[in-house]
């Protein structure tokens, strides 16, 4: 079965750039989405179709996808961005999530 691999945790200082990676076989041939989940809340879509931002998502969130790796980048990271982030892609009509990355802003 298809797998997506994320680092368990990433730390970033306020105002700096955070990058969260998601790796999968030929992931660049698929589209990746990213979801933000804060404690006790439902996930929120922050990036879809590799690099598109839904309405209401700040411009500091961006995404890219090439080769075997998709990347979520948060520029000028703020304390409110501290959360778990999940990548997601589709393989043979099956939805697959990465294991999630805990972003700490300190």
Partner 1 sequence: QVQLQESGPGLVKPSETLSLTCTVSGGSISTYYWSWIRQPPGKGLEWIGNIYYSGTTNYNLSLKSRVTISRDTSKNQFSLRLSAVTAADTAVYYCARTSYGSGTYYFDHWGQGTLVTVSS
Binding site for partner 1 (CB under 8 A): 1, 30-31, 33, 35, 42-45, 48-49, 54, 86, 88, 90, 93-100
Q: Shortest approach of partner 1 to residue 43 CB, angstroms?
A: 6
In whole angstroms, the minimum distance from the beta carbon of 99 to partner 1 comes to: 5
- Min CB(67)–partner 1 separation in Å: 18
Distance CA 8, CA 30 (A): 23
State which residue, 24 or 100, has the beta carbon closest to partner 1: 100
Give the list of residues 6+ apart from residue 85 with CB closer than 8 angstroms, or none: 6, 20, 34, 35, 36, 37, 46, 72, 100, 101, 103
Q: Name the residue nearer to partner 1 (CB basis): 19 or 52.
A: 52
DSSP state of 27: G
Count of beta carbons in the 10 Å neighbourhood of residue 16: 12
């Amino acid at each position: 079965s298809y797998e997506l691999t994320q680092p368990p945790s990433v730390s970033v200082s306020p105002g700096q750039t955070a990058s969260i990676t998601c790796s999968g076989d030929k992931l660049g041939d698929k589209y990746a989405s990213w979801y933000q989940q804060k404690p006790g809340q439902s996930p929120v879509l922050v990036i879809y179709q590799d690099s598109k931002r839904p309405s209401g998502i700040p411009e500091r969130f961006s995404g890219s996808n090439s080769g075997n790796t998709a990347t979520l980048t948060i520029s000028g990271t703020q304390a409110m961005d501290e959360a778990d982030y999940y990548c997601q892609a589709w393989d043979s009509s099956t939805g697959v999530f990465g294991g999630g990355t805990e972003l700490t802003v300190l």
